Chain A
Amino acid sequence: MTSAAPHEATPTTDQAACTVEDLSVGLTGRNIDVVDDIDLLLGPGEVVGLVGESGSGKTTVGTALLGYARVGALIEHGRVLLGERDVLSLDWKDVRQLRGQEIAYVPQDPASALNPSIRIGPQLVELLELRDIGTAEERDDRARAGLAEVGLPNDDEFLRRYPHQLSGGQVQRVALAMAFLPRPKVLVLDEPTTGLDVTTQGMVLETMNQLCRSHQVAALYVTHDLAVIANIADRVAVMYAGRIIELGPRDQIFAAPAHPYTRALLDAIPHLKQARALSGIPGRTPGPGRRPSGCRFHDRCSYAIDRCADEEPPPVEVGPDHTARCIRLDEIGSWDIDLGTVPDSDPDKTREPILSVRDLDVYYGRKQVVHGVTFDLGRSECVALVGESGSGKTTISRCVGGLHRDWTGTIDFEERELAKGARSRTNDDRKRIQYIFQNPYLSLNPRMTIEQIIKRPMKLFGIAKGKAATDRAVELLEQVALGPTVLKLQTNRLSGGERQRVAIARALAAEPDILVCDEITSALDVSVQGSIVQLLEELRKSRGIGMLFVTHNLALVRSIAARVQILNAGRLVESGSVVEVMDSPREDYTRELLANSPSID
């Protein structure tokens, strides 16, 4: 993983490459703030992490640095100083001149941000060409040098490619090279590694870090991923509901977070080296226009008192260069990262296998995607299937769930062989193996009420009907911490986390012995992930359900699973108890995966 530069003190205003003062962005035509009261300094060669969950306004701050607001939003007031000039009060033409050359932007999803109709070469030098920088040959040389800097080939053949002919990591590195080409002083990176595999992410972050340091570029790294921030940032700004609620040097933020929200976020994050009892944050992040008065976090904060609802907390100094917006900083005590630590699951515990997969080969048409995979799952045990995209982990889980039928080998459930597709299995098999999908926005029928969704398995499997079914649905909703008020609602009234709880309740309604969980937290914010994991853990213990947990997140595996199967390109690389595999991996691939996984410990 990349090594961050030694901690430097906050730059003063005159040293800063970029200063943001009292920035506020609102929705056009309505008196609603998306973000407000933002103050931030970026020093040359410094990486500042701007971290927040969805709806916090972090991307809005990022693009506002370039004097840009998305359709429907408007920069209301504030100053963004690049040296002497204020980007926000400059003439439109001058702002355009600044963009690219002095302050550049790296987009979130470069696959859609590179123009699909323009070849890589012309697209790289487009800006230089428009600004008449250098001759055609010089521009060409710079483009090639830039590609070399980010570790890409720079021959003619590569320059002639279209964006769709590159892999995800390559596209992102092209976007980096494009941003660095005019030698900007300030760089805004908007979640540039979302959707990349950890190995690729590692490479991209490394490249970005080196370029920022060597060119003395001030970078604002916008992300939801605290673990990435922990590895690359010098300073960290934590955003919640449109405000920066804590700002400080990276080591301080991770070792001694002051704000209750930062602490709760850190409590929700799994570690690579040690299992933790993860917890979530109750409630949901309020969107623009629905934010509470006073401290915006008070309605979800476990330390809140009445005063928090009335007083807007100003930033308070809690250490050198470290501020937090909370009026109870002195009263809430200190925080210890090790509080959440729990012992790893015991590798020597006796196992009682109920599902075993033998020599599984899976095909999509003529293409074989899984090769001879063998593993088993015990009662009340959580087994993790881990791998990067294309490793076959989801494919295997779909075979177990009966959603994919084109496979050979055997899957035994309680020593009986399972049929291939769900339709050819017995009603009992279908009932006892339940599948939970990755994206709760797609897995629940938007036309049905929560009640209809949860009652359906009960009816199909003859578990309960009528009043008894309603009672059971209420009971299940309480178990997944939703309560009976949602019964008559359709899913579009629920947040992502709430939807995933409904999906879990639907699976539980069938009273299963095995839950197949396909990346069920990857579409959710980290604080929501914490509470879902907490819920699953309780269910596993109290009901003795075996869980097949598919994920790409190794840190999460440490906290939730007893055994782990590492997959690469459809083959099993390494398997064993979590402690063994993660503490003393035998295979190079596992070691590489562990080394590239960002983690806060």
Chain B
Amino acid sequence: MSTTTATTSGLRRMLHQRRLVAGMIITAFVVVLAIIGPWIAPYGEHEIVGKPFTHSGSFLGTDYLGQDVLSRVLAGGRSILVISVLATALGMVGGILIGLIAAYVGGWFDEVLMRLNDVALAFPQILLALLVLSAVEQPEWWMIVLLVGASHAPRVARLVRGVALGLVSRDFVASAEALGESRIRIVLAEVLPNMNAPLLAEAGLRLTYSIGLVAALGFLGFSTDPGGADWGQMINENRLALLVVPWGVLAPVIVIGIFTIGTNLMADGITQLAEKGGES
């Protein structure tokens, strides 16, 4: 029995996890950039600084309308960040609810729920969003949140159900049952706290996919704000000039890439941390 408390040793273990630390630093960098970007941008989001696709403006040149690329990259992070985080949160909450209920109730209910889940899984995530958007004139931001979140939910539910099934069959749940604990309390106080690590890792992974999906929708031309600064949309707008002024495309592509690398490293670091923690 060591005298160090669980919290300090947990923190120390976390800092020893290089991938986790690297992931957190990269993610924090992109998030901070996206948040303060509009304030530090040299030009306005829609300000025309020169001829299209030239080297005027700041060092990244101008875009298809002659707007400053750097300023638009700095301004275009907020929407993707907010939509991705909300969609991830929605998908996680929905998936956790479905998965937990399926695992704890079990029986035919679980059977039906998981069958329906399989149906949802038959759609690649991007397809589900496109399917609905095909009948929509102009996508709203909440639609993207809803669609990306909904496409995560069955995948999260599947993981949660698997982890929860392993926990529900453990004797500490039986012990709580024997003491007559309420069902809600068993799920919330006994089962859920034991899923922290896999849930955190899954959230990191889902956030990675959310960023990719939201950016991809922008890239395919389904933007919530046509003409507005948005990383995905910027790629689409400036694609034709990749040959001339590549930064209009490359700059948003690179920030998206860095962002996803960061969140993915974080998710993996959490998994590793949990594995090592389990050993002691």
**Shortest beta-carbon distance, B247 to chain A, in Å?**
47
A488-B5, A492-B280 are known contacts. Are A445 and B179 too (CB-CB below 8 A)?
no
Chain A residue nearest in CB terms to B280: A492
Given A442-B170, A445-B190: A401 and B2 interface contact (C-beta under 8 Å): no
Tell me if B105 counts as interface (CB < 8 A to partner A).
no
A337 sits at the interface (CB 8 A): no
Q: In the assembly, what is the distance between CA of A153 and CA of B5, in Å?
A: 58
A5 at the interface (CB under 8 A from B): no
Q: Does B194 contact A (CB under 8 A)?
A: yes
The answer for the CA separation of A437 and B175 in the assembled complex, in Å, is 8
How far does the alpha carbon of A447 sit from the alpha carbon of B199 in the complex, in Å? 15
Contacts of A420-453 to chain B: CB distance below 8 A: 422-423, 425, 427, 430, 434-435, 437-439, 442-448
A446 to B274, CA, bound (A): 13
Tell me whether A437 and B174 are in contact in the complex, defined as CB-CB below 8 angstroms, given that A430-B180, A460-B181 are known contacts: yes
Of B2, B170, B178, B196, which contacts A403 at CB under 8 A? B178
Question: Nearest chain A CB to B202's CB is how many angstroms away?
Answer: 18
Bound state CA distance, A418 and B179, in angstroms?
Answer: 15
Do A442 and B171 contact each other (CB < 8 Å), given the known contacts A422-B177, A435-B178?
A: yes
Interface residue B6 (Cβ < 8 Å from any Cβ of A): yes
Task: List residues 183-204 of chain B with CB under 8 A from any CB of chain A.
Answer: 190, 193-194, 196
Q: How many residues of A contact B (CB 8 A)?
A: 33
Give the residues in chain A near B280, CB-CB below 8 Å. Answer: 492
Q: How far is the CA of A439 from the CA of B6 in the complex (A)?
A: 23
Determine if A489 is an interface residue (Cβ-Cβ < 8 Å): yes
CB within 8 A of A442: which of B172, B179, B190, B193? B172
Is A350 an interface position by the 8 A CB rule? no
Give A402 to B177 CA distance when docked, in angstroms: 9
Nearest-Cβ distance from residue B70 to partner chain A, whole angstroms: 47
B244 at the interface (CB under 8 A from A): no
Q: Does A136 contact B (CB under 8 A)?
A: no
B1 sits at the interface (CB 8 A): yes
Among candidates A437, A447, A485, A494, residue contacting B193 with C-beta atoms closer than 8 Å: A447
Known: A437-B171, A439-B171, A488-B5. A445 touches B194 (CB 8 A): yes
CB distance from A372 to the nearest CB of B (A): 25
Name the one of B171, B180, B193, B196 contacting A460, with C-beta atoms under 8 angstroms.
B180
Q: Check A457 for interface membership: any CB of B closer than 8 A.
A: yes
Partner of A447, one of B175, B178, B194: B194
Q: Which B151-178 residues have a C-beta within 8 angstroms of A?
A: 170-172, 174-175, 177-178
Task: Take A403-B174, A439-B171, A442-B171 as given contacts and tell me if A485 and B179 are in contact as well, using a CB distance cutoff of 8 Å.
Answer: no
Q: Known interface pairs A442-B170, A445-B194, A447-B194. Does A403 touch B177 (Cβ–Cβ under 8 Å)?
A: yes
* A443 partner, pick from B2, B171, B180, B194, beta carbons under 8 A: B171
Q: How far is the CA of A165 from the CA of B170 in the complex (A)?
A: 28
Closest-by-CB residue of A relative to B194 is A447
What chain B residues lie within 8 Å of A443 (beta carbons)?
170-172, 174-175
Cβ of A273 under 8 Å from chain B: no
CB distance from B263 to the nearest CB of A (A): 26
Whole-angstrom distance between the Cβ of A299 and the nearest chain B Cβ: 14
B178 contacts A486, CB within 8 Å?
Answer: no
CB-based contact A422/B178 at 8 Å: yes
Shortest beta-carbon distance from B199 to chain A in Å? 13
CB pair A494–B1 under 8 Å, yes or no, is: yes
Contacts of A131 in B (CB 8 A): none
Instruction: Determine whether A374 belongs to the interface, using a CB cutoff of 8 Å to chain B.
Output: no
Report A-chain residues with C-beta under 8 Å of the C-beta of B180.
Answer: 422-423, 425, 427, 430, 460
Query: Chain A residues near B178 (CB, 8 Å)?
Result: 401-403, 422, 430, 434-435
Q: Is A467 interfacial (CB 8 A cutoff)?
A: no
Q: How far is the CA of A446 from the CA of B6 in the complex (A)?
A: 12
Q: What residue in chain B is nearest A421 (Cβ atoms)?
A: B177
Cβ-based interface call for A456 (8 A):
yes
Interface residue ranges of A446-486 to B (CB < 8 Å): 446-448, 456-457, 460, 485-486
What's the Cα separation between A437 and B173 when bound, in Å?
A: 11
Q: How far is the CA of A266 from the CA of B280 in the complex (A)?
A: 30
Contact B2 A493 (CB under 8 A): yes
| Residue A199 interfacial (CB < 8 Å) | no
CB distance from B193 to the nearest CB of A (A): 4
Closest B residue, CB atoms, query A446: B194
How distant is the Cα of A510 from the Cα of B181 in the complex, in angstroms?
14
Check A490 for interface membership: any CB of B closer than 8 A: yes
B1 touches A485 (CB 8 A): yes
Cβ–Cβ < 8 Å partners of A423 in chain B: 177, 180
**In whole angstroms, what is the CA distance A165 to B172 when docked?**
33
User: Which residue in chain A gives the minimum CB-CB distance to B175?
Assistant: A443
Q: Which residues of A contact B181 (CB under 8 A)?
A: 460
How distant is the Cα of A492 from the Cα of B280 in the complex, in angstroms? 7
Please name all residues of chain B whose beta carbon is closer than 8 Å to the beta carbon of A447 when the two chains form the complex. Answer: 193-194, 196
Q: Please give, as numbers and ranges, the residues of chain B lying within 8 Å of A448 by CB-CB distance.
A: 193
| A437: chain B residues within 8 A (beta carbon) | 171, 174-175
Q: List 18 A-B contacts (CB under 8 A).
A: A402-B178, A403-B174, A422-B177, A422-B180, A423-B177, A423-B180, A425-B180, A430-B178, A430-B179, A430-B180, A435-B174, A443-B170, A445-B194, A460-B181, A486-B1, A488-B5, A489-B1, A489-B6
Closest 4 CB pairs of A and B: A443-B171, A447-B193, A437-B171, A445-B172
**Interface residues, chain B, CB within 8 Å of chain A?**
1-2, 5-6, 170-172, 174-175, 177-181, 190, 193-194, 196, 280
Given contacts A403-B178, A435-B174, A489-B6, 8 further A-B contacts (CB under 8 A): A435-B175, A439-B171, A442-B172, A443-B175, A447-B196, A460-B180, A493-B1, A506-B175
